[in-house]
A and B are shown apart, each in its own frame.
Chain A
């Protein structure tokens, strides 16, 4: 019980760091948008930052960093099909 509480307290410190990183990256992505980069570069920067932010949420808030294999298997299958969905528009032309 005491051990578990210590463990959670360590988690809480990580949550605060993740929050600071997420807030910082939000400010960065908005600031970059005001630079009016060429479209391809703007898409690359915006989606890269969003991917880092999304990964932080999934890894730490959703505890994926310490999750079991079965959850990763479900997610792998999901992302294969998600990838197919996103690539569908390129097959249409």
Chain B
């Protein structure tokens, strides 16, 4: 396999990075544009609206603060799972990766409670412009968290057999999964103040 796809474990002589890492960053660049378009829509809608509600009066700030901290901790456990592999400690990797998945699930459960409370009060995307952009941005972000959990689950169980045969390649894969996970955390770092606090 390694002979078919080159420079997935060792850096490409021209770029100095593995093709896997460069590919992941190009993918993240497209993700920046995806969320960027929606942030742009948010600015357009907000500046064009005659009035705009205060997010903190409509949304649950303490819950979202808790979720922000959950995602930050999950970023730490994710980078620790990579660091454990770099230090050749597979058992620790499993623990940190498992924790990252649990924290990701915690984020989604809290988000589901938030959505549930909104629906119970008959607040839907169609309610007004604020809820339309709130559900679109947080919904798309939530989908990204879900995909991150699935990727991490793959690397926790079926995908981790690669560790026995190609440890360098597996460590590189977990690093790339980490780049994606940190990006999802980074998006939330901006979504939280923009939607909940301003």
Residues of A with Cβ closer than 8 Å to B?
Answer: 1, 4-5, 8-9, 11-12, 15-16, 18-19, 22-23, 26, 29-30, 33, 39, 42-43, 46-47, 49-50, 53-54, 57-58, 60-63, 67-71, 74-75, 77-79, 81-82, 85-86, 88-89, 92
Contacts and interface: CB of A to CB of B under 8 A. Distances in A.
Interface size class of B (residues with CB under 8 A): 35 or more
B137 interface: no
Contacts, number: 127
B22 A71 contact: yes
Given A19-B72, A58-B186, A61-B182, A78 B43 contact: no
Given A19-B75, A63-B175, A82-B36, 18 more contacts: A5-B86, A16-B76, A19-B76, A29-B192, A33-B56, A33-B61, A33-B197, A47-B193, A47-B194, A50-B192, A54-B186, A61-B78, A61-B182, A70-B22, A71-B25, A74-B25, A86-B36, A86-B43
Contact of A57 (B22, B26, B48, B189): B189
Contacts of A15: 76, 79-80, 83
